[in-house]
Amino acid sequence: MNSETILPLALFIPLLSAFFIALNDGRPDWREGATLLGSLLLLGVVFSLLPAVATGARPTVDLLEFAPGLPLRLSVEPLGMTFACVAALLWPLNSLYSIGYMRGNQEQHQTRFYICFAIAIASTIGIAFAGNLLTLFIFYEALTLSTYPLVTHKGTEEAKQAGRLYLGILVGTSIGFLLLAIVWTWVVAGTLEFAPGGILAGKIDGPLVNVLLALYMFGIGKAALMPFHRWLPAAMVAPTPVSALLHAVAVVKAGVFSVLKVIVYVFGIDFLKDTGASSWLMWVAALTVLLASFVALTKDNLKARLAYSTVSQLGYVVLGAALATSMGVIGGSMQIVMHAFGKITLFFCAGAIYTAAHKTEVSQLDGLGRAMPFTFGAFLIGALSIIGLPPLGGSWSKWYLLVGAADAEQWALMAVLLLSSLLNVAYLLPVPARGFFAAAPAGGATQIPIREAPLACVVPLCLTALGCLWLFFQADSLYALLAPITVR
Amino acid sequence: MTEHLPVLQVVVPLIAAPLCALLRPGRAVWLLAMVTCALCLLIAALLLDRVLAQGVISYAMGGWPAPWGIEYRVDAANAYMLLIVAAIGAVVMAFARTVVEQRIRLPASKQPWFYATYLLCLTGLLGMIVTGDAFNVFVFLEISSLSSYVLISIGRDRRALTAAYQYLIMGTIGATFILIGIGFLYVMTGTLNMADLAARLPAVADTRTVRAAFAFLTIGISLKLALFPLHLWLPNAYAYAPSAVTAFLAATATKVAIYVLLRFFFTIFGAQFSFGTMRLDAILLPLALAGIFSASVVAIFQTNVKRMLAYSSVAQIGYMILGISLVSVTGLTAAISHLFNHALMKGTLFMALGCVSFRIGAVSLDRMAGVGRIMPWTMGAFVIGGLSLIGVPMTAGFVSKWYLILGALERGWWPVALLVLFTSLLAVVYIWRVVETAYFQPAPEGRATTGEAPLALLVPTWTLALANLYFGLDTSLNAGVARRAAEALLGVGP
C-alpha cells in the first residue's frame, strides 16, 4: 500500500474504533479491547507513514470539495507527522491508563467516555494531517466538541460551569477570531493551502499583518495564550486520563501545533521577520510563560498546579514560533513532543496518587513517595524533563529555543527562558521532594508498605517516563525530520 | 409525461387534498398524503436534475403560450426551492401521523382534514415557486396562507387560536399589499408574466406608479417572510402550532416568501433597479442586522424552547436578508444556501422538540430538565440541529456562515462580518442553555418517567439531523446549486 491509501485510514481507524466501542456498550472487556486495538492499529498506520515523509514525500489526499478550489485535504508534512506520532504513541498508553483509572475509581458512563476519547483522537489526527486551513479548522472544532462531554464527565454543577468556560472560550475565540482570520486569508490570498514559505507574503502589508496575526493567535484558544487561558485550569474537573489527554496529547498540543502551522506555512517566517509583525507576540508569550509559572507556584491542588505549568510550557512553543527563526520554530516543534511525554507522565502520576491514596493537594503528599516509589520516581523524571535537564528529552527543546532566541538576538527573552526554568524547579520538584523526604503525617507507621495504584495505571506512567529518557537520544532524528519545514 | 413535470408538481397535491378529505379516518388517509408528498419530492428531484442538465424549462398552462397564458418557468433557483419544500414536506408528513393521532385538538373524525389542509398548504407553496406569472404567485400565496392559518389554529394550546388570528391579520395585510403591487405593475405594463414584466418595466421604470408598486411589494413580502420589525406574528404562531406544523412552516413558509422576494427584485425589477435606483439594500441591511441581533438576544431570555427557536428563526431570516443585501454572487449564494440549510436545521430542531413534547407534554425549559438522559436519541438530534444552527464546521449551517462572511469581507464590510460572528456566539448561548438543562439538571418532581420517543417520530427527525451533517461536507447541492441559482438571478451566469 502506498502512503496515499494509508493516509485516510489514520482518520478512520479511531472513528471505527468509536463505533465498535458503542456496539459493545454492555461488555466492558470487549469495549476496552476495541479501544486498545484501535489505538495499536493507529500507531502502526501513523508510523508506516514516517519513512516516506522523512525522505521528503508529502502524501496528499483530497476527501471532498467544500467550495470551488477549496477541498477538504489531508496532507502530511514533517510538523504534522511529528504531532501525529506523539498522539499515536500516547493514545495506547493513555487507553491502558484509562482502563486502570476508570475501573479503579468506578466512574459512570464509561462507554460515552471511550467513544468521545476515540473521536477526539480522530480529530487530533485530522488536525495533524490537515492539508489546508479549512480542514484544520473543521477538525479543530470537532476536537472542542468531542472533548466537551469528557470535561463535563462528572455531570456535577462544577463540571457544568467548567464546561461552560471550556466551550465559551474555545468556541468563542475560534468562531470570533479564527474563522474570521481564515476567511480573510481566503479573500486576500485566494488559497488556504499550507505552503512552505507561507501564502501571505505580498498579499497584505502594514499594520494589517499585525491584526491578522493577532486574530490567528488569539483565535487559536487551545494554545492558551494569556488572557484566553482560563479554560485550561477549569477543565481540571475532568477525570485524570482526560486531563492527560487535554494537556499532553490532543487539545493544547493541537493549539500550539496550529500556531506553528500558521506561522510557518501561512505567514512564513521570512515574511514575519521582514515585517516584524510577530515582535509583540514574543512578549505576550514571554509574559504567559512567566505569569503562569508564578500562578503555578501558588496552587496547592496538584492538578491545578500542573495545569498552570502547561499554560506556561505552551508559551514556550508560541515563543519559539514568534521568534521567526528556524531554530526557534524547530525548538517549538520539539517542545510539543518533549512536553507531551513529560506532562502526560505528571498527570498519570497525579491520577495514580488519587486512585491509590485519594490525595489531591500537594501539601498532603508528605511521605507518600515511600508507599508509591514507582509513581513518584516517574514524577521526578517527568518533572526533570519539563525543567529541561539532561539526559531527558526536555533539555533539547529548551536548547533549541535558547539558540533560536540567540539567533534573533533577543537577549531579554533568553533571560525569560532561563528564569522560567528556575520557576519550573520551584513548583515541580516539591512534589517528589515531599513524597520521598518529608515525614509522613503523625500517627503513620514508620515502615510504610508499598501501596501503588492498579498495574494498568503504573505501567503506562513508567513507560512515558522512560519515553522522556528515550527522547533524549532521539533528538537527532527528530531534528532531521523537522529541519525541512522552514526551508522554502 | 416528463414535459408535464412542472404542472404535475402542483396538480398532484392539489387533487390529493380533496381526496384526503373524502376518505374515512384511519391509516389510509395518511398513506395517501404520504405517497403524495413522496411523489412531489420525486417530481422536484427530476425537475432539478433536468434544469441542471438542460437549462430553463418553460411550460405553457393549457397550451396557451406566454405571455397570454400562464407560464410555469423553472430555472436553477426555483428548482432548488422546489426540492427544499418538497423534501421537508415529505419528511414532516412522515413525522405528522403520530402527532396528529395523539397530540392535536382534533377529534378522530376530523383528522383527514388535517392532511387535506397540509397538502393544500404544500400545493400553495410549490405553486408560488414554480409559477412564472406574478398574479399566479398571489393566488398560490393565498392558498398556502389560508391553509397555514388553519394548521396553526389546531394546536393543543388554546393560545394557538389567537396566534393564528394574529397571523391571519398580518398575513392578509401582507397579501393585500402584494396584490396592490402586482396590480400597479399590471396597470403600467399590461402583462402579468414575469419574463414579460421584466422586459417591459425598464421603459416605465421612472414613474411613481412603478415605485409605489415596488414599495407595496417590498412591505407585503417582508410581512410574509417576517423581516424584523414585521415579524411579530411569527413567535406566537410557531410556539403554539402543533409541532409537525411548526416544523413544516418554519422550514418552508418563510423560505418561499424569501424566494418570492428574490424573484420580484432580481428577475422582475432587476438588480439594477432594485438596488441601484431604489437603494433597497440600504433598507434591508440595517433591518437584517437589527433583526439578527435583537432576535438572538430575545431568544436567550425565552423559557419556552419552541418560542426561543421561533425568535432564532427571525434572526436566521435576518442572515438570509443580509446575504441578499450584499448584492453579490457570494452574498446571494449565502442567502440561497441558507434557505436550504436553515430548513434542515430548524426542521430537525422543531421535530426533536415535537418528540420531547410527545413524551413529556411540554417544551418549557424547566420541564425539559434531565431529558437528555431519558431521551438520548431525541436530544442527540437536537444537539446536531443546534450545532448546525450555531454554524459549527461539518454541519450545514457552517456552509452558509462561510459564504456570508466571505461575502461581507469581499465587500470590505468588516463590522458586518464581526456582527455575524458575534451573533453566532449568541446562538451558542441559547442552544447551550437547553443542552445544559437537558443533560445536567435532575428531572423535575412529578414528571412521569417516560422513555424515548417512538420510532415513527425518531426516524424522520434523524433523517433531517443526518442531512445536516451530510450537507455540511458535501456542498455540491446547498452551495454548488445555490451558486448557480444566484448567478441565474443576477444574470451573470452561463
- Residue-wise pLDDT for B389-432, tens only, equals 998 888 999 999 999 999 999 888 888 999 889 998 899 999 99
- pLDDT, chain B, mean: 88
Residue among A480, A475, A321 nearest A401 (CA): A321
Contacts of A167 in chain B (CB under 8 A): 428, 432
Burial of B25 (0-12, 13-18, 19+ CB in 10 A): middle
| DSSP H or E segment with residue A73 | strand A70-75
- For residue range A115-126, list pLDDT tens digits in order: 888 899 999 999
Angstrom CA distances, B360 to B304, B368, B440, stand at: 14, 8, 17
pLDDT of the residue at A1 = 60
CB-closest option in A142, A164, A176 to B425: A176
Whether residue B402 and residue A67 make contact (CB cut-off 8 A), yes or no, is yes
Residue B374, pLDDT > 90, answer no
pLDDT of the residue at B449 = 65
pLDDT of the residue at B301 = 92
- Average pLDDT of the segment spanning B473-482: 85
Asked whether the beta carbons of B339 and B488 are under 8 A apart, the reply is no
The shortest C-alpha distance from A72 to chain B (Å) reads 9
- Average pLDDT of the segment spanning B129-157: 90
If you count residue pairs, one on A and one on B, with CB atoms under 8 Å apart, how many are there? 67
pLDDT of the residue at B178 = 93
CB of B426 within 8 Å of a chain A CB? The answer is no
The shortest C-alpha distance from A52 to chain B (Å) reads 29
CB of B440 within 8 Å of a chain A CB? The answer is yes
State how far the Cα of B365 lies from the Cα of B433, in Å rounded to an integer.
Answer: 9
Contacts of B479 in chain A (CB under 8 A): 66-67
Sequence-ordered list of residues with C-beta below 8 angstroms from that of A247, at least 6 positions apart, any chain: A232, A306, A307, A310, A343, A344, A347
pLDDT of the residue at B493 = 55
Three-state secondary structure call for residue B131: strand
Whether residue A66 and residue B475 make contact (CB cut-off 8 A), yes or no, is yes
CB-closest option in B394, B421, B436 to A160: B436
Whether residue B405 and residue A164 make contact (CB cut-off 8 A), yes or no, is no
Angstrom CA distances, A116 to A15, A104, A112, A171, A205, stand at: 10, 20, 6, 18, 42
Chain A residues near any Cβ of chain B (below 8 Å): 64-67, 72, 137-138, 141-142, 145, 152, 155, 157, 159-160, 163-164, 167-168, 171-172, 175-176, 179-180, 183-184, 186-187
Length in residues, chain A: 488
The shortest C-alpha distance from A109 to chain B (Å) reads 11
Q: Where are the alpha helices (DSSP H) in A196-325?
A: 207-219, 231-234, 240-244, 251-261, 269-275, 279-298, 302-323
Give the domain extent around B415.
298-494
| Residue B134 covered by a domain | no
Read off the pLDDT band of B463 (50, 70, 90): very high
In chain B, what is the straight-line distance between the N-terminal and C-terminal CA atoms, in Å?
A: 28
pLDDT of the residue at B40 = 92
Residue A327, pLDDT > 80, answer yes
Whether residue A138 and residue B393 make contact (CB cut-off 8 A), yes or no, is yes
Whether residue A142 and residue B393 make contact (CB cut-off 8 A), yes or no, is yes
Residue B141, pLDDT > 90, answer yes
State how far the Cα of A221 lies from the Cα of B240, in Å rounded to an integer.
Answer: 41
Whether residue A176 and residue B422 make contact (CB cut-off 8 A), yes or no, is yes
The shortest C-alpha distance from A188 to chain B (Å) reads 9
Q: What are phi and psi of B71, to 5 degrees?
A: -105, 135
User: Among all residues of chain B, which has the CA nearest to that of A64?
Assistant: B474
Comparison of pLDDT for B481 and B443, the residue scoring more: B481
Asked whether the beta carbons of A451 and A371 are under 8 A apart, the reply is yes
CB-closest option in A66, A168, A180 to B417: A180
State how far the Cα of A352 lies from the Cα of A181, in Å rounded to an integer.
Answer: 42
CB-closest option in B387, B390, B405 to A180: B405
Numbers of helices and strands, H then E, in chain A: 22, 2
| Residue B409 covered by a domain | yes
Residue B240, pLDDT > 70, answer yes
Whether residue A65 and residue B387 make contact (CB cut-off 8 A), yes or no, is no
| Residue B318 covered by a domain | yes
Asked whether the beta carbons of B86 and B346 are under 8 A apart, the reply is no
State percent of chain B over pLDDT 90: 40
Residue among A36, A31, A9, A29 nearest A20 (CA): A31
State how far the Cα of B464 lies from the Cα of B346, in Å rounded to an integer.
Answer: 9
| Residue B489 covered by a domain | yes
In this structure, the number of other CB atoms found within 10 A of the CB of residue B446 comes to 5
State how far the Cα of A182 lies from the Cα of B310, in Å rounded to an integer.
Answer: 31
CB-closest option in B410, B418, B424 to A187: B410
The shortest C-alpha distance from B473 to chain A (Å) reads 7
CB of B101 within 8 Å of a chain A CB? The answer is no
CB of B406 within 8 Å of a chain A CB? The answer is yes
User: Which stretch of A228-242, A326-340, A387-401, A436-450 has the lowest confidence by average pLDDT?
Assistant: A436-450
Asked whether the beta carbons of A215 and A329 are under 8 A apart, the reply is no
User: Among all residues of chain B, which has the CA nearest to that of A178?
Assistant: B421
Sequence-ordered list of residues with C-beta below 8 angstroms from that of B254, at least 6 positions apart, any chain: B224, B225, B226, B234, B313, B317
Burial of A462 (0-12, 13-18, 19+ CB in 10 A): middle
pLDDT of the residue at A189 = 87
pLDDT of the residue at A433 = 86
Residue B237, pLDDT > 70, answer yes
| Residue B238 covered by a domain | no
Read off the pLDDT band of B448 (50, 70, 90): low
Whether residue A141 and residue B436 make contact (CB cut-off 8 A), yes or no, is no
Comparison of pLDDT for A443 and B55, the residue scoring more: B55
State how far the Cα of A63 lies from the Cα of A421, in Å rounded to an integer.
Answer: 44
CB of B361 within 8 Å of a chain A CB? The answer is no
Whether residue B393 and residue A172 make contact (CB cut-off 8 A), yes or no, is no
Asked whether the beta carbons of A472 and A390 are under 8 A apart, the reply is yes
Contacts of B392 in chain A (CB under 8 A): 141, 145, 171
Whether residue A164 and residue B479 make contact (CB cut-off 8 A), yes or no, is no
- For residue range A372-407, list pLDDT tens digits in order: 888 888 889 999 998 888 888 888 888 888 888 888
Sequence-ordered list of residues with C-beta below 8 angstroms from that of B315, at least 6 positions apart, any chain: B291, B292, B293, B295, B296, B299, B423, B427
Cell numbers linked to B249:
412552516
Residue A464, pLDDT > 90, answer no
Contacts of A148 in chain B (CB under 8 A): none
Bridge partners of residue B60, in order along the sequence: B71
- Average pLDDT of the segment spanning A72-100: 87
- pLDDT, chain A, mean: 86
Read off the pLDDT band of A247 (50, 70, 90): low
Whether residue B476 and residue A187 make contact (CB cut-off 8 A), yes or no, is no
Residue A450, pLDDT > 80, answer no
| Residue B225 covered by a domain | no
The shortest C-alpha distance from A380 to chain B (Å) reads 38
| Residue B351 covered by a domain | yes
Q: Going along B67-210, which residue ranges are E strands?
A: 71-74
Chain position carrying cell 479573500: A187
Residue A72, pLDDT > 80, answer yes
- For residue range A132-168, list pLDDT tens digits in order: 899 999 999 999 998 888 888 887 888 888 888 888 8
State how far the Cα of A86 lies from the Cα of A301, in Å rounded to an integer.
Answer: 27
Contacts of A67 in chain B (CB under 8 A): 402, 475, 479
Residue among B416, B124, B411 nearest B248 (CA): B124
Bridge partners of residue B59, in order along the sequence: B72
pLDDT of the residue at B1 = 65
Number of domains in chain B: 1
Contacts of B399 in chain A (CB under 8 A): 66
The shortest C-alpha distance from B346 to chain A (Å) reads 21
Residue B350, pLDDT > 70, answer yes
Residue B238, pLDDT > 80, answer yes
Asked whether the beta carbons of B353 and B385 are under 8 A apart, the reply is no
- Average pLDDT of the segment spanning A235-253: 81
| Residue B470 covered by a domain | yes
pLDDT of the residue at A442 = 59
User: Which stretch of A63-67, B247-251, B347-351 has the lowest confidence by average pLDDT?
Assistant: A63-67
Residue among A324, A319, A335, A346 nearest A417 (CA): A319
Whether residue B391 and residue A172 make contact (CB cut-off 8 A), yes or no, is no
- Average pLDDT of the segment spanning A17-42: 85
Asked whether the beta carbons of A115 and A21 are under 8 A apart, the reply is yes
The shortest C-alpha distance from A391 to chain B (Å) reads 43
Contacts of A160 in chain B (CB under 8 A): 436, 440
Contacts of B422 in chain A (CB under 8 A): 176
User: Among all residues of chain A, which has the CA nearest to that of B390?
Assistant: A175
Cα dihedral B370/B373/B375/B376 (nearest 10) = 130
The shortest C-alpha distance from A141 to chain B (Å) reads 7
Contacts of A172 in chain B (CB under 8 A): 425, 428
Asked whether the beta carbons of B41 and B28 are under 8 A apart, the reply is no
User: Among all residues of chain A, which has the CA nearest to that of B416?
Assistant: A180
